[in-house]
Amino acid sequence: MDRLIIEGGKRLQGEIGISGSKNALLPILAATLLTDEPCRISGVPCLRDTSTMIRILRSLGKNVNFKNDEITVKSSGHVNTTAEYKLVSTMRASFCVLGPLLAKFKKARVSLPGGCVIGLRPVDLHLKGLRALGACLDIDKGYVVARADRLSGAHIYLGGAFGSSVLATANVMMAATKAYGITKIESAACEPEIVDLAKFLNKMGARIKGFGTPLIEIEGVRRLQGVEYRIIPDRIEAGTFIIAALITGGDVKLVNVIWQHMGAVLDKLEDIGADIEKADKTIEVKSSRPLRATNITTLPYPGFPTDMQAQMMALMSLVPGVSIITEKVYPDRFMHIAELNRMGAHIQRQGPHAIIEGVGQLCGAKVMASDLRASACLILAGLVAKGITSVSRIYHLERGYENLDEKLNSLGARICREKE
């Protein structure tokens, strides 16, 4: 197991390319189960989660080849409709194979999922949606066992306690592509990753309308075909690099980015004083002005993303004044607070609120990552901290960031890896 050793105080400067979106890629890979024809997906990031989904597809009978930034998925002729615990338990998005398996093969046996420990994330909305389409579902020894002689279109409300669910929307939408009749998903997730999945499915021959809005309509079709498709850039990686520039007082240009997907993040950063210039597929960050304290509430898209909450907390811990971050998507997603405080931050948690009193300096320390975005948060803090920061358990980081340490080093950071 590796850890990152960060020498703080290095100003970031230069140009960096943004990788393809992990959160768009994983459901799209699951969607290849809906066809026997070859699919080629480009812009693929080399991540631990990518490897996990490839292993799942292979276990289900697909031939998968990953070279450079392209994945080709073909049918092997062998079909297995059981997604095993040892794979699904490591990554929550792998639960998205349930809908495609059920739609294509009329049955599925999929382990209940795992992933980052960021609070309770039940699969009740997934099951509710699939039952509405006519599936018979049981929980047996940690597996969801699903059967359906025929899926039929339905009007499905997918709103949950904390808003819409991206993965539940994806799972139900994929299943509905081969259901008989019309399916309407109300309170559907509006994230760009759902839009990317819908575009991929439509290119396969699906008939989906309304994606990007809270009401998605799917007309079922009998057959889906193989396609070539390029996934969108990762808006969370882009946001992380913007904050890396700001926290180090640097000037960084991001290329291969869709800034229109980042409205809430860019609006908040500009509101606190960040100098951000947006062009066609680029964002340029200049640290030319002091930043101001602010209040942030995470919400489903198009609100401020929960996946940027931890990184923003690292930045606000150094901004004079008092900032408050309210987490309304995963209220327990605050495990990084204790680690930031070890580095000299002044942060208190009160229920779903983090109250951040800005300090003048963070100090390097030994810290431990609890989840994917907390890993990025601690690295950002280490970039600006006085002295040396050691971040352990970075396997979380490798689930969702492609060579983050190498990319930061190319901008002037000083980060090395060593075995724990």
**Residues belonging to the active site:** 116
Positive or negative, the CA dihedral 285, 397, 53, 166 is negative
Structure tokens at 325: 């971050």
Cβ atoms of 93 and 23 within 8 Å: the answer is yes
CA angle 79, 82, 88 (to 5 degrees): 125
Please state, in angstroms and rounded to a whole number, the distance separating the CA atoms of residues 50 and 78. 22
Enumerate the β-bridge partners of residue 363.
386
Torsion angle in degrees (nearest 10) through CA of 68, 74, 78, 81: 80
Give the span between the Cα atoms of 152 and 159, in whole angstroms: 21
Residue 102 main-chain phi, psi, to 5 deg: -65, -40
Cα Dmax for the chain: 63
CA 96 to chain centre: 14
Q: Nearest Cα to 130, choosing from 169, 93, 91?
A: 169
Cis peptide bond prior to 302, omega within 30° of 0: yes
Q: Which of 246, 361, 254 is nearest to 311 (CA)?
A: 246
Strands 182-186 and 215-219: antiparallel
Residue 321: other Cβ atoms inside 10 A:
12
